[in-house]
């Protein structure tokens, strides 16, 4: 793969695992990768770790106030003020690995091939080559901001290096042609290119939105552009776990199933 004319650091990578993945990044001497705090899994001797304000990108303003404002934008997307930079200060190649926070897939994105910008859901960013800017994207439409599943503020990744997102379950990448429309559960949208139009659509029919279990709105995405879709949003997974732990389930493994609770004399 050609790395010609890149401003961001040039990194090689390999993704390991199936459902609980981690990405292994190989750094040449003086190369740096950035990651969310706590994402590091392991690293070779010779790599130095440094906590920094914001993302450390070349685009961010100089001076303490500028760095603070840049880092403050990340807080609006639900992230920490700080990120961690991992720099290879040894003579040969060294590796550093970053682990996914929950079951799902890691998505490698070559921003140079994707036009330089990706809009992603909050908390999707995992790590990137140094120079990739991790900022905010404000939804322009009131309805999308309120009902679009991710609110007014999403993450915006800019640069010409590699960035890595993480999302839940299985990941589908769709290339939408001009005018092509797909409708998605609002929580299942992971990321999309800026050429994609993101809107919402009200679910028609009283029975559909009251008993259909899909909420009141779909996310409607219209091409041209690329869209990444997750099969299991973390909010859905968390909701099932909470619901599962709320009730005593003594019927599990019983031939009677739920009737066991009625006849065991304890309910």
Question: What pLDDT digit, counting tens, does each position of 114-155 carry?
Answer: 999 999 988 899 999 998 988 887 765 544 444 444 444 788
Stated as kind and residue range, the H or E segment containing 246 is helix 234-246
CATH fold group of domain 12-247? Double-stranded beta-helix (3.60.160)
Question: What pLDDT digit, counting tens, does each position of 81-94 carry?
Answer: 678 999 999 999 99
Positive/negative CA dihedral, 234, 227, 108, 78:
negative
pLDDT at 80: 59
Both tokens of 235, joined, read 């909010």
Q: CA dist 169 to 21, 83, 172, 235, Å?
A: 11, 26, 10, 12
> What's the predicted TM-score (pTM) here?
0.77
pLDDT at 206: 46
Positive/negative CA dihedral, 156, 182, 15, 122:
positive
Name the stretches of the chain with pLDDT < 50: 1-2, 59-61, 142-152, 205-213, 251, 253-256, 259-267
Q: Where are the domains of the chain?
A: 12-247
Both tokens of 34, joined, read 């950035």
Beta bridge partners, 90, equal none
**Coil, helix or strand for 198?**
strand
pLDDT at 247: 57
- What is the CA angle 26-28-31, rounded to 5? 95
Both tokens of 70, joined, read 């840049």
pLDDT at 238: 74
pLDDT at 212: 43
CA-nearest of 172, 178, 130, 150 to 9 is 130
């Amino acid at each position: 793969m050609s790395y010609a004319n890149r401003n961001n650091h040039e990194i090689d990578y390999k993704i390991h695992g199936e459902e609980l993945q981690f990405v292994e990044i190989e750094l040449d001497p003086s190369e740096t990768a950035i990651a969310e705090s706590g994402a590091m899994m392991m690293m070779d001797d010779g790599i130095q770790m440094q906590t920094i304000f914001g993302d450390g990108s070349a685009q961010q303003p100089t001076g303490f106030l500028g760095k603070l404002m840049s880092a403050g934008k990340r807080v609006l997307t639900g992230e920490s003020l700080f990120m961690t930079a991992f720099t290879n200060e040894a003579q040969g190649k060294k590796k550093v690995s970053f682990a996914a926070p929950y079951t799902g897939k890691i998505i490698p994105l070559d921003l140079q091939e994707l036009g330089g910008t990706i809009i992603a859901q909050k908390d999707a960013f995992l790590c990137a080559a140094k120079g990739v800017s991790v900022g905010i994207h404000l939804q322009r439409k009131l309805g999308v901001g309120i009902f679009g599943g991710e609110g007014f503020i999403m993450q915006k990744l800019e640069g010409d290096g590699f960035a890595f997102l993480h999302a839940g379950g299985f990941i589908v990448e769709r290339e939408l042609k001009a005018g092509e429309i797909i409708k998605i559960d609002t929580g299942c949208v992971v990321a999309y290119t800026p050429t994609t139009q993101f809107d919402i659509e009200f679910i028609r029919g009283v029975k559909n939105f009251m008993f259909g279990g899909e909420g009141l709105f779909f996310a409607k995405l219209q091409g041209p552009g690329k869209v990444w879709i997750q099969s299991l949003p973390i909010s859905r997974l968390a909701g099932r776990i909470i619901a599962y732990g709320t009730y005593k389930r003594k019927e599990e493994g019983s031939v009677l199933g739920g009737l066991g609770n009625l006849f065991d004399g304890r309910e």
